[in-house]
A and B are shown apart, each in its own frame.
Chain A
Amino acid sequence: MNETAFMLFAVYLLTLLLALSETYSLSVSALLGALFTAWLGINYGLFGYEEALGFIDVKLAMLLIGIMITVETASRSGLFRVFGLYAIKLVRANPKLLLIVLGILSAAVSLFLSDAAAVLIVSATALAISKDLGYDPIPYVTTAAIMVNLGGTGMLIGSVSNMIIGLNAGFSFTEFSQYLLPAEFMLWFITVGVLALYYGKKLETMKPRSLVEYKIKVERKGEMLRAGFILFLMIVLYIYSDRLGLPVEAVAMAVAVIALAVMKYDSARIFSEIDWDTVFFVIAFLFVIRGVEKTGILNELAQIMFQLSGGEPLLTSLLTLFVSGIASVFLANVAVALTFTPAVKALPLAHKEPVWSALVLGTNLGGGTIPVTSIVFAMAIGALKHEEVSIDLGELTKVGAMVTTVQLLFSALYIIVYFGVISGVLL
């Protein structure tokens, strides 16, 4: 490793450390990293200014911002809240059924919303309902957080790491869903089943304090219908984007503009609600990664991965799944996705679909394991603390680790069966 490569790699590690230690926000940590990468890279002649400008991924930024605008306008209508409340009303006060329905609902809502927005809606609903019934809210809020993290794993627009991996892999919306949506739906039921078993005894002892007959008030029906139409249009356009010859980021921006025009919300308010911290983090961290990529280190990483797995596509996929999964437990999964994508791109394999799919599963599933690094857990704990519910962080970590282990093992089996037996790519 030469001097420049060493320094740029040190900047990369320092950026991760700054983000992990919460010294600065994710975006500021990555922006500092990008600043030093640019300064070192240009001064040491690794790349020029014009080339450095090319490190900014406009397509990814378009996709992120477009999806965020659409999601913000759709969630503002209250559509997901009302849908969730009706689903919960159906199970009445059955504690186990309530956990299962809430879990499935959390994953379904997270298919369309950002994790942060989904966990806010579901944890507020779970806390309100469990408070009324006199139930311990912890199993419900924990289930909601874990299922929100899982939701969206199988869709290109389901999470930021999916967008990064999907764009780099060159997957269309339908290809991405074809490879990963079956795994996601199976994981919904496996995960909620594991959680229902784990909390089984606790749930059996729960007796409703009173049976509350909710009369759900639906206001602004017109807005909800329009939001439903926007989401329907978004999915249809994504499905047909291939045939229409439209790149996914163009569809994302087009739907965002239509959503702003149809919903007629205050656009300034919508723009201010966008998760700019994540947008800047992704763009800036990608800049750092591109700098490291220029040094050839990530190519070496790809070579190591390839050699460790003996050039076997199946072993490479499983290695990617577990390494990215474990790395995402401790680091922001977006950072893991950004680091792994150049390495996977450089792998000398004819069919990389299983490796890309393994990376999607690893980064998504590992991200919801421990409370300190998982944003969904942190928000769920914040909501519980806000409602003055005392929580045992060790217990939460145990649940998170148990669920992630089951999910990763199932994902390994899925990759073997789907790509080995069904599509035959790994044979």
Chain B
Amino acid sequence: MSWMDRVFRRKFERHRREYEEEKEKVDKALGKPHITLTIELPESCKGMEREFEQLPDDKQFREELEEFIHDYIARKNKERREKQKCAEGENKEA
């Protein structure tokens, strides 16, 4: 990392939390849904604290997480629709 990068990082790091808070508020005001989660180190990841703490800055992790969220919501919706169909079928039979 160059000296300049270090200078910027140091100056920005001081305001990083404020920037993230501000961005969240802007997204909220624009009507963009936004969630914030706090995740503790999973039991199975003991000894990987450093890697775990670097995940918020990992672009690939965020992309994969976005894909996971999409797949998870789609799967949940499908399950809900199937359950609904089953319930409607049972009601008709009854």
Contacts and interface: CB of A to CB of B under 8 A. Distances in A.
Contact of A85 (B7, B8, B22, B29): B29
Contacts of B15: 116, 120, 379, 382
Contacts of B16: 382, 386
B8 A382 contact: yes
A128 B27 CA distance: 7
B4 interface: yes
> Which bracket fits the contact residues of B?
20 to 34
B81 to A, nearest CB: 28
Given A124-B19, A378-B7, A85 B12 contact: no
Given A116-B15, A214-B31, A386-B16, A371 B26 contact: no
B8 A120 contact: no
Contact of A215 (B8, B10, B22, B31): B31
A367 B15 CA distance: 19
B18 interface: yes
A148 to B, nearest CB: 13
Interface in A370-384: 371-372, 375, 378-379, 381-383
Contacts of B85: none
A81 interface: yes
Contacts of A50: none
A82 B22 contact: no
Contacts of B12: 378-379, 381-383, 385-386
A385 B9 CA distance: 9
A127 B9 contact: no
Interface in B1-57: 4, 7-13, 15-16, 18-20, 22-23, 25-32
> Which bracket fits the contact residues of A?
20 to 34
Contact of A378 (B8, B18, B20, B23): B8
B60 to A, nearest CB: 11
Residue of B11, B15, B29 with highest tally of chain A CB at under 10 A: B29
A82 B31 CA distance: 12
A365 to B, nearest CB: 20
A120 B29 contact: no
A292 B79 CA distance: 76
A120 B4 contact: no
B59 interface: yes
B18 to A, nearest CB: 6
A124 B26 contact: yes
B66 to A, nearest CB: 14
6 contacts: A128-B27, A216-B31, A372-B4, A378-B8, A382-B13, A382-B16
Interface of A: 22, 78, 81-82, 85, 116, 120-121, 123-125, 127-128, 214-219, 371-372, 375, 378-379, 381-383, 385-386, 388, 393
Interface of B: 4, 7-13, 15-16, 18-20, 22-23, 25-32, 59
Given A121-B26, A375-B11, 8 more contacts: A22-B10, A81-B25, A120-B19, A123-B19, A128-B26, A216-B31, A217-B31, A381-B12
Q: Which 9 residue pairs across A and B have the least CB separation, nearest first?
A: A382-B12, A378-B11, A124-B22, A124-B23, A124-B26, A120-B22, A215-B31, A128-B26, A214-B30
